[in-house]
Amino acid sequence: MSKNKKTVFLKSNKIGEGELGSILINGFLKAMTEQENLPEKIICVNSAVLLTTSKDEDEVLNSLKELEQKGVKILSCGTCLDYYNVRDELKVGLPGNALDTVETLLNEDVVTF
């Protein structure tokens, strides 16, 4: 697998609304695991941090773990983890901070969802 200088910026634990949005984020991340070119990073902010702190059997969490094993750096906003009171439940990746996020957004190609 190769990585490129892209970052995926996830702003929500869904793509769109409701149950369909949950299905779409699951499918999106699963499809990403099957790609030859992977992003360098995935940054999760707002409710997207709930994807990195979900139940162990959750398909989205499994996709994120697989991406991390393939070398994708996964960062969850520390302020967001604290806001949702889930910092101790982080199961994949590391807590990030605003400085790292801003630096990435200004210096890399970013795909936002």
Give per-residue pLDDT as tens, 19-35.
Answer: 999 999 999 999 999 99
pLDDT of residue 56: 82
What domain range includes position 41?
Answer: 2-112
β partners of residue 48: none
* Residue 55 confidence class, pLDDT cut points 50, 70, 90: confident
The domain tally of the chain equals 1
CATH at residue 86: 3.40.1260.10
- pTM for this prediction: 0.93
What pLDDT, on the 0 to 100 scale, is given for residue 2? 63
Closest of 56, 40, 49, 58 to residue 1, by C-alpha = 40
pLDDT value, residue 91? 97
pLDDT bracket for residue 1 (50, 70, 90): low
> What stretch of H or E contains 109?
strand 109-112
